[in-house]
Chains A and B, each alone.
Chain A
Amino acid sequence: MSGNWIEVCAADEIDEEDVIRFDHGGRTFAVYRSPDDEYFATDGLCTHEHIHLVDGLVMDDIIECPKHNGRFNYKTGQAKGAPVCVNLKTYPVKVEAGSVFIALG
């Protein structure tokens, strides 16, 4: 998969401790910038009712679904308890020359 890096946006287009939506190839992803300035990516839809996570709140390493407050660790994709029980898929991310890239498997 490492050969398939897709450019998402400029690194400074994502605020610290925030998330943006990225659509590519008919799929939707969520790309995060953590409070300590690292970047991460997951599937863009909550595993509970397929709501776009981009409208949710990022606090530390948690993204919370805007609809029913399902919580995931966006660094690992781990579901953090009811109502979500299915983990989020995560994707490798790198920052090069001021841009964020995501590797889609």
Chain B
Amino acid sequence: MGSIVIVGAGECGARAAFALREMGYDGKITLIGAEPHLPYERPPLSKDGLSGQLPPKYVADAERYRVAGIEVLTDTPVSAIDRTDKSVTLTDGTSIAYDRLLLATGARARTIAGTDDASRRIRTLRTHADAEEIRRELAPGRKLAIIGGGFIGLELAATARRLGAAVILIEGLTRILSRGVPEDIAAVVAARHRAEGVDLRCSAKIERIDADENCARVVLADGETVDADLVVIGIGAIPNTELAAAAGLAIDNGIAVDATLQTSDSDIYAAGDCCSFPLCHYGDRRVRLEAWRNAQDQGTLVAGNLLGAGEAIASVPWFWSDQYDLTLQIAGLAEGASTTVRRDLSDSAFILFHLDDTGRLLSASGIGPGNAVARDIRLAEMLIAAGKRPDPQALILPETKLKALLAA
């Protein structure tokens, strides 16, 4: 028996709770979330979920938590961790004791200084409530200004165009998707957005954003102004580390954990968007991943480790984005690559493979309609995990079966 408390009721926390039961843990599990909903999937919020589907896409329905014996506290912010007493304190003063504590506190949207508590005409997109607010403005005749050409901003742009709103997207750097997406793939995405009518501006610095009850105005550094019914800021996320920091846990671009997701307190673990961890396939480089699959993988892994398994993270980072009928998938991290080769598939889909100077495959990024690149990206992920050094010329040829390279 015993008690495991999970702070953060998102994908990662929920997955960990169910995994604990699947692994036979029969003690108490308390899953605590600040939002009013049961845990739900966030990826749809900028994609189909924004097209009007309600309620959110739940990770599991209430019945499954009941059957699994998982107590879920929604709308319940946690105010403190007492490591001496081994308990967490809720904002209403209630204290809940733990034998092991998991922090799956996630991340929150970054904002632009000075706009934090501005009018409802300036928003970020992170929660179901955010998506509901933004959805109201997406219609023919409405104009949306998106700040930031990352996955969230671009997916929102695609959804907004499908719903008939006019879209201007403002990126400060010279191209969109500069963090982690190769230029050739970003160019395909940019061209598609322009073809769909998005006014895409790169190298555009923002001076300030003004807003009143009815509209917002983005003032660019060159003096130009952009008026919109709604401004959505999509410039990345900040890990929610405050609770951990206040409890004296080590922080390093997120709650710092070791390869088993243990924090600097051996009874406290952290997983998902909120933590930074050493990535074994890349020389134990410390990274923090904001990704759905990572939240799931770490949620499952940490459940075992909360029960003493001591297993190290071995998964390869994996990301995806859907925009219009295009899907982009990335496995691995391309930093440090010295060679890039291109494999052209049918229907204008293609994959870029990035290898280091010893020939080891570091990353593969693909884009195409539907799921055209999915199978090869999945196999690339397995090649990366296995530390393979595939022949670059073989990777280029679409008739080469990657499954065969995995066996080689």
Selecting from B103-111, B121-129, B373-381, the interface stretch reads B373-381
Q: Which chain A residue shows the least CB distance to B406? A: A59
The reply to whether A17 and B403 form a contact with Cβ atoms under 8 Å apart is yes
A17-B403, A82-B15 known; A55 and B296 CB under 8 Å?
no
Q: Contacts of A85 on B, CB cut-off 8 Å?
A: 60, 64
Closest CB in chain A relative to B293 CB, distance in Å: 7
The reply to whether B293 and A69 form a contact with Cβ atoms under 8 Å apart is yes
In the assembled complex, the Cα of A67 lies from the Cα of B371 at a distance in Å of 7
Number of CB contacts from chain A to chain B under 8 A: 42
In the assembled complex, the Cα of A17 lies from the Cα of B64 at a distance in Å of 34
In the assembled complex, the Cα of A69 lies from the Cα of B300 at a distance in Å of 15
The reply to whether B371 and A69 form a contact with Cβ atoms under 8 Å apart is no
Closest CB in chain A relative to B386 CB, distance in Å: 13
Closest CB in chain A relative to B1 CB, distance in Å: 25
The reply to whether B18 and A56 form a contact with Cβ atoms under 8 Å apart is no
Contact with B along A61-93 (1 / 0, CB 8 A): 000101111000000000001110100000000
A95 at interface, CB cutoff 8 A? no
The reply to whether A66 and B375 form a contact with Cβ atoms under 8 Å apart is yes
Closest CB in chain B relative to A84 CB, distance in Å: 11
Q: Contacts of B359 on A, CB cut-off 8 Å?
A: none
Q: Contacts of A56 on B, CB cut-off 8 Å?
A: 371, 374-375, 378
Docked complex: B51-70 residues within 8 A CB-CB of A:
59-60, 64
Closest CB in chain B relative to A14 CB, distance in Å: 15
The reply to whether B375 and A57 form a contact with Cβ atoms under 8 Å apart is yes
A17-B403, A82-B18 known; A66 and B300 CB under 8 Å?
no
The reply to whether A82 and B300 form a contact with Cβ atoms under 8 Å apart is yes
A17-B403, A57-B379, A83-B296 known; A67 and B374 CB under 8 Å?
yes
B370 at interface, CB cutoff 8 A? yes
Interface residues on B, range: 20 to 34
Q: Contacts of A64 on B, CB cut-off 8 Å?
A: 378
A51-B371, A69-B293, A85-B60 known; A57 and B378 CB under 8 Å?
yes
Q: Contacts of A83 on B, CB cut-off 8 Å?
A: 41, 59, 296
The reply to whether A66 and B371 form a contact with Cβ atoms under 8 Å apart is yes
Interface size on A, residues (CB 8 A): 15
B372 at interface, CB cutoff 8 A? yes
Closest CB in chain B relative to A101 CB, distance in Å: 26
Q: Which chain A residue shows the least CB distance to B375? A: A57
Main secondary structure of the interface of A (DSSP, over half): loop
A94 at interface, CB cutoff 8 A? no
In the assembled complex, the Cα of A68 lies from the Cα of B41 at a distance in Å of 12
Closest CB in chain A relative to B300 CB, distance in Å: 7
In the assembled complex, the Cα of A55 lies from the Cα of B18 at a distance in Å of 29
In the assembled complex, the Cα of A85 lies from the Cα of B378 at a distance in Å of 21
The reply to whether B375 and A55 form a contact with Cβ atoms under 8 Å apart is yes
Closest CB in chain B relative to A43 CB, distance in Å: 17
In the assembled complex, the Cα of A83 lies from the Cα of B40 at a distance in Å of 12
In the assembled complex, the Cα of A52 lies from the Cα of B370 at a distance in Å of 10
Q: Contacts of A66 on B, CB cut-off 8 Å?
A: 371, 374-375, 378
Closest CB in chain B relative to A17 CB, distance in Å: 7
Of A17, A52, A82, which one neighbours B296 at CB under 8 angstroms?
Answer: A82
Closest CB in chain A relative to B320 CB, distance in Å: 8
Q: Contacts of A51 on B, CB cut-off 8 Å?
A: 371
Q: Contacts of B22 on A, CB cut-off 8 Å?
A: 81
Closest CB in chain B relative to A67 CB, distance in Å: 6
10 closest pairs, A vs B, by CB?
A: A66-B374, A55-B371, A66-B371, A57-B378, A57-B375, A55-B374, A82-B15, A82-B296, A55-B375, A66-B375
Report 13 cross-chain contacts, Cβ distance below 8 Å, ordered by A residue: A55-B371, A55-B374, A55-B375, A57-B374, A64-B378, A66-B371, A69-B293, A69-B318, A81-B22, A81-B300, A82-B15, A82-B59, A85-B64
Q: Which residues of B contact A (CB under 8 A)?
A: 15, 18, 22, 41, 59-60, 64, 292-293, 296, 300, 318, 320, 327, 370-372, 374-375, 378-379, 403
Q: Which residues of A contact B (CB under 8 A)?
A: 17, 51-52, 55-57, 64, 66-69, 81-83, 85
Apart from A66-B375, A68-B292, what are 4 other A-B pairs with CB-CB below 8 Å?
A: A55-B370, A56-B371, A56-B378, A82-B300
